[in-house]
Chain A
Amino acid sequence: MTALQLSFDPYNLIITGVGGQGNVLASRLLGRMLVEQGYYVTIGETFGASQRGGSVMSHLRISTRSAWSPQIPHGRAHMVIAIEPSEAFRVLAVYGNPEVQVIWNTRPIHPVSVITGQAVYPSLEEITQGLNELSAQNWRLEATAQAQTMGNPILGNIMMVGALSAVSDLPLGPDIFEKTINEMMPPAKVPINLEAFAWGRAALS
């Protein structure tokens, strides 16, 4: 394992969103891409009732030396990928720190409390300002809009993985992505996923 390197060990990555956004697939995909290259990966997930409109969070612990707990200790995330923008704030309140990096999708999914007018959803400007304040560096993508033009909003999750590959020093290039996606998806679905990955990667290159 001497070839493996990590800026932090364990490297703590959180993928967050709302049930139905493909959070679980994204985390499994990333995890698999890394296990195949010899890393220890632990993924902790909360799902089940999340399908019913709740928040979803996947914690990924990436390490060269051992397996770690499926929950990241408070304040120790290195990177947060938010497939839904407001969820980034929920995550950062517990796991954020001044050095954290955030990649975020701009498309909101309104909670029932906002839909019913009981709560107000933050504006894009407020989100941008807030994330600028709470992260050392952040990148935003209009992933859902792009995914819709490609035929399915859920492709947003793959785009976020592509984006991560552009800015992170984790070995997540197109080759290992293609190999892994071929193992995880039926052949018919592979091309659109490759396209989504490439778009995300290009967006942050």
Chain B
Amino acid sequence: MSIVSTGTKGQTALLMGNDAIARGALEAGVRVVAGYPGTPSSEIIQTLADVASDQGLYVEWSANEKVGLEVAAAGSFAQLRSMAVMKQVGVNVASDFLLHLAEYGTRAGLVLITCEDPGGLSSTNEGDSRHYAKMMEFPLVEPGNFQEAKDMAAWSFELSEEVRNVVMFRSVTRMSHASGNVVLGEPSSSLMAPGSSKARFQFDGAMMDQMGGPVVTFPGTVDAMHRRQLEKLARVREIFETSPFNTYAGPDQPELLVITSSAAYLYSQEAIALLGLEERVGLLKLGTTWPLPPRLLAKYLKASEKIFIVEEGTPFLEDNVKTLWAELGPKAGTKQFFGRKDGGPLPPTNELNPDRVAQGLAEILGLPAVLPDQAYRDRANELAKSHAPFRAMTFCPGCPHRASYWVINSALKQDNRRGFVCGDIGCYTMGAISCGFNTLKTSHAMGSGTGVASGFGKLSRFGFDQPVMAISGDSTFFHAVMPALVNAVHNQADMILVVVDNSGTAMTGFQPHPGSLSDASGGALPALDIARICEAMGVKVVIADPFEMEATEKTLLDLLDETGGVRVLILRQACALSPGKKGKHQFDMTVDETVCLAEDCGCNRLCTRVFGCPGLIWDPKAKKTRIDEVICVGCGVCATICPTGAITRKEVA
């Protein structure tokens, strides 16, 4: 039982940011929670799913983030406090619905939690979703520490109900995946939002009756709805003027005013302490970052000539503060702004940390930089070069994708027509680097592989003669591939879609998806069958096991020979980390050193140099391959690729 649900009021717990958010939602009486896995957000839904039946929640891993937000919105329309959870790219997927949702408004509190990834620690980009709040005109809040993560998560539901609109709550990796002391509040016992007795959807009222009419955005009502939306925003502005989540520490007339939000608050606080500038620098921490409360900002802007905006992500806060200052007119006074834009001093890309902020402060105030012992640093760096070899990402030992890419690469090379694979997001994105034999040649967003391949597959009329393939995971199939596949089938694109079905959403922690037999809480659900769906679309479907490499290679070569439409090859083999496989050895692996050719002509270390499974070690002294018993999971695939049969496998009883 997690402390997130069992912890009592007043208890201090060490909570991860995501757990604090989950606890805050529980304290506010959230009832409906939906979203899609994405690092660094996934733990929120998982934690709530684990306590769903005890706490009386409905928690869903939705097919994608747009549906997730729609599911949560339904909860809100039915008078239940609801929450949608995703990472930054998920907001892009949900954005079409978000626009309409924000235009119309909500009923019971609805909070959109987005956990973002500045620096792209677990992402292919460092997108910043805060702009949606400004663009689509709804409130945005950002917690500045772990206590606020909990408190503001709970408060966001109240705010949402106060102004009857969705509230975006933005966290970042260094908040979501970091932990700190949190004093817990009172868990909510009420099943319903204040004022309701059971879930129901009212729709008999007039079109403009937000709480009782149909929830419809419609041509002809746009002007009126938009005005209503702006009125809500004005009310939010007023509420934000006195919010306890906007705090100030420092002198009344600081030499330099730091304006910050989110995890950057912690870095700024530490940077000021590092340089001993508590008496010279003011720290304005904003928890309410859209719309900006103008009177509050004016008060602090007037007190200093130098303004340093420290934020994670794009210069969202920076631009908005500058705009607000421009609107204040002459009474705000002349200012010098510092931030992440041209001239800095903060770098425009990547995440921040206390050192970067401290460097910025020192530069602005003309202070010597606080640097660690240079001689030590130089020596430590030198030793790190030789003693800490780079750890590239690779597939786990036993990963079916290694086998799948081995087969795909081999088939495409033999086919010899410069065929290529378009992919997207998942563990299989690593097909783009050497662990996937550099097979993947395009990769963008969820489902993009199929969409892009659908385009390439129509270019033969322009002389295009390279075979086109797309690759997708099973979860991605349901998330975004299906419409792209429909497009490819209907338009008769000449392509092969490979679905690497490892029975789960692996990269983010092995969550279930619509192809799984269970829900987020472990209960039973009917699983959708990818093969049958493809067949229903009218395409040829072949299913193969990537661990049967020779047979699968032949199958793929035959598919490459066919032309004139979409072919689907499902490579089905469970993820090495899936519950059914984890910790279990199918085979005991051994290397016969007398047979191992190692570096000689005829092998040249195919298993360690090319195949690259971490369970195989190259012993440079013995000049032979060894099995690492700690790492090897006994999948047996390396025995298949060994050219001399030196690697053998024995089935474990």
Listed in ascending order, the chain A residues whose CB lies under 8 Å from chain B are: 18, 28, 31-32, 35, 40-49, 51-55, 67-71, 73-76, 86-90, 92-93, 96-98, 107, 109-117, 119-122, 126-127, 130, 133-134, 144, 148, 153
Interface pair B383/A134, CB less than 8 Å apart: yes
Among candidates B263, B508, B616, residue contacting A70 with C-beta atoms closer than 8 Å: B263
CB distance from A185 to the nearest CB of B (A): 12
Does B178 sit at the interface, judged by CB under 8 A? yes
Contact B617 A110, beta carbon cutoff 8 Å: yes
A48/B612 contact (C-beta < 8 A), A32-B14, A93-B384 known: no
Residue in A32, A69, A86, A111 whose beta carbon sits within 8 Å of that of B269 in the complex: A69
**Whole-angstrom distance between the Cβ of A3 and the nearest chain B Cβ:** 16
Closest to A153 in B: B630
B608, A116: Cβ atoms closer than 8 Å: yes
Interface: B393 (CB within 8 A): yes
19 contacts between A and B (CB under 8 A): A32-B14, A42-B180, A43-B178, A43-B179, A49-B393, A53-B394, A70-B175, A70-B178, A75-B377, A90-B388, A92-B384, A112-B394, A113-B392, A115-B612, A116-B605, A116-B610, A121-B389, A133-B379, A144-B630
Looking at the complex, which one of A67, A97, A133 makes contact with B145 (CB distance below 8 Å)? Answer: A67
Q: Which of B352-360, B444-452, B642-650 contacts A (4 or more CB under 8 A)?
A: B352-360
A86 to B609: give the CA distance in the assembly, Å.
21
Asked if B620 lies at the interface with its beta carbon under 8 angstroms from chain A, I say yes
When the two chains form their complex, are residues B383 and A47 in contact, meaning their CB atoms are under 8 A apart? no
The interface residues of chain B lying within 8 Å CB-to-CB of A93 are 377, 380-381, 383-384, 388
- Evaluate whether A98 and B376 lie within 8 angstroms (CB atoms) in the complex, with A110-B617, A117-B609 already known: yes
Q: Is the CB of A86 within 8 A of B178?
A: no
CA distance A111 to B387 in the complex (A): 12
Inter-subunit contact A134/B376 (CB<8 Å): yes
Interchain CB contact under 8 A, A70 and B618: no
Residue of A45, A92, A93, A120 with most chain B CB atoms under a 10 A cut-off: A93
From known contacts A53-B614, A67-B181, A112-B435, infer whether A127 and B387 are also in contact, taking CB-CB under 8 Å. yes
B266–A68 CB distance below 8 A: yes
Would you call A48 and B122 a contact (CB within 8 A)? yes
Query: In the bound complex, what is the Cα–Cα distance between A53 and B13 (angstroms)?
Result: 31
**Alpha-carbon distance A68/B267, docked complex (angstroms):** 8
Q: Which residue of A lies closest to B382 (CB)?
A: A93
Q: How far is the CB of B272 from chain A (nearest CB, A)?
A: 11
Q: Which residue of B lies closest to A45 (CB)?
A: B177
B390 at the interface (CB under 8 A from A): yes
For the complex with contacts A53-B393, A111-B389, A117-B608, 14 further pairs of A-B residues with Cβ separation under 8 Å are: A42-B266, A45-B178, A49-B507, A51-B577, A67-B145, A68-B269, A69-B269, A69-B270, A70-B263, A70-B266, A73-B274, A93-B380, A96-B376, A113-B390
Name A46's closest neighbour in chain B (CB-CB): B121
* Closest A-B pairs by Cβ, 9 of them: A75-B372, A48-B122, A70-B178, A93-B384, A119-B389, A69-B266, A48-B39, A89-B388, A90-B388
* Chain B residues with CB below 8 A from A32, complex form: 14
CB neighbours of A40 from chain B (8 A):
180-181
Alpha-carbon gap, A49 to B381, bound state (A): 24
Cα–Cα, bound, A69→B373 (Å): 21
Q: Assess the A87–B388 pair: CB atoms within 8 A.
A: yes
Kindly report which residue of chain A lies nearest to residue B270, judged by CB atoms. A69
**Interchain CB contact under 8 A, B353 and A69:** yes
Residues from chain B with Cβ under 8 Å of A46 in the complex = 121, 173, 177
In the bound complex, do residue B383 and residue A48 qualify as a contact, i.e. CB atoms below 8 Å apart? no
Does the CB pair A112–B14 fall under 8 Å?
no
CB distance from A178 to the nearest CB of B (A): 18
Q: Given that A43-B179, A51-B577, A53-B614 are known contacts, is A114 also in contact with B630, CB under 8 Å in the complex?
A: no
Query: B393, A52: Cβ atoms under 8 Å?
Result: yes
Query: Shortest distance in angstroms between A164's beta carbon and chain B's nearest beta carbon?
Result: 17
Which B residues are in CB contact (< 8 Å) with A71? 174, 267, 353-354
Contact with A along B140-176 (1 / 0, CB 8 A): 0000011000000000000000000000000001110
Chain A residues lying within 8 Å of B377, measured Cβ to Cβ, are 75, 93
Chain A CB within 8 A of B331 CB: no
Closest to A63 in B: B181
From A18, A35, A48, A134, contact of B181 by CB (8 A): A35
- Asked if A89 and B384 make an inter-chain contact with CB atoms under 8 angstroms apart, the answer reads yes
Complex-state Cα separation, A124 to B266, whole angstroms: 39
Q: Is the CB of B372 within 8 A of A74?
A: yes
Q: Given the complex, which residues of A lie within 8 Å of B435, measured CB to CB?
A: 112
Indicate if the CB atoms of B388 and A52 lie closer than 8 Å.
no
Option from A69, A89, A111 in Cβ contact (under 8 Å) with B267 = A69
**B388 contacts A112, C-beta separation under 8 Å:** no
Within 8 A of A (CB), among B248-284: 263, 266-267, 269-270, 274
Contact of A67 among B146, B381, B387, B390 (CB under 8 A): B146
Which interface residue of B40, B181, B266, B353 has the most chain A CB atoms within 10 A?
A: B181
With known contacts A48-B122, A75-B372, A41–B179 Cβ distance under 8 A: yes
B383 near A35 (CB under 8 angstroms)? no
Please tell me if the beta carbons of B387 and A89 are within 8 angstroms of each other in the complex. yes
Shortest CB–CB separation between residue A39 and chain B, in angstroms?
A: 8
State whether the Cβ of B534 lies closer than 8 Å to any Cβ in chain A.
no
- B12 CB within 8 Å of chain A: yes
Which residues of chain B from 343 to 370 have a CB within 8 Å of any chain A CB?
353-355, 358
Of A67, A70, A120, A133, which contacts B174 at CB under 8 A?
A: A70
